[in-house]
Amino acid sequence: MSAPAECQLVGRWRIIEADIWDRDYIDLCGPATVAIGADNHGEIAFGAMQANLEIGYCPARVFFTWTGSDEMNEVSGEGDAELLSDGSIAIAFAYHNGDEAVLKAIRQTSSTAC
């Protein structure tokens, strides 16, 4: 399955808040980000967690399963991301048999040095 051309979530997003963690935690090991690729794959990193995503697409929403590591422990789970009316995305993120969180992210814009 490939990403529909009309999927508005493909790209790199900066995670700016979470309902159960503060900003210091989500940026613990660097800027918290999620990358939604057009090839059914992506990545997410926040806190001490880094994971790869397997993605399914809709025009304004993606669904994913994920596997990765958190504090050197193997972790996995599932989630989805939905485009909001203000152009940000809400990410429902769940660890298998663990925490569930809602993250908010804004699109990262690329910049070039002058």
What domains are defined for the chain? Answer: 11-107 (2.40.128)
How far apart are alpha carbons 69 and 28 in whole angstroms?
14
Q: Is 39 helix (H, G, I), strand (E, B) or coil?
A: coil
pLDDT in tens, 57-90: 998 999 999 999 999 999 999 999 999 999 999 9
Tell me the pTM.
0.89
What confidence score (pLDDT) does residue 86 get? Answer: 96
What confidence score (pLDDT) does residue 8 get? Answer: 92
DSSP 59-86: TTEEEEEEEEEETTEEEEEEEEEEE-TT
What are the φ and ψ backbone dihedral angles of 38, each rounded to 5 degrees?
Answer: -90, 10
